[in-house]
Amino acid sequence: MESEGRVLDEAKLDTAIADLLREEESEDPEPAAEPAKPKAAFPVLPEQAEMDEEAQTRNSGLAATLRQKWAELSGAA
């Protein structure tokens, strides 16, 4: 049960497409010049000396001993 074929009117189709394109253009006016993208701001990283100091204070003293014992008891060391 096929429906009867229709003849394609290419001129009518082209006109309809052109009308649709014109409507889209009138609805979306051209955007103004894109604003300049802001420069990427990089985070301020600590100096290596500061990182070394933190590592020394963390790995020394009673806290380090307790962490080591905890790791041994947990079976991680």
11-57 confidence digits (pLDDT tens): 888 898 898 888 877 765 555 666 666 677 888 877 877 777 766 66
* Pairwise CA distance, residues 33 & 11, whole Å: 37
Residue 28 confidence (pLDDT): 56
* Pairwise CA distance, residues 75 & 77, whole Å: 6
Look at the pTM and tell me if it is higher than 0.75: no
The mean pLDDT value for 48-77 works out to 75
What share of residues in the chain are helix, strand, coil (percent, to 5)?
55, 0, 45
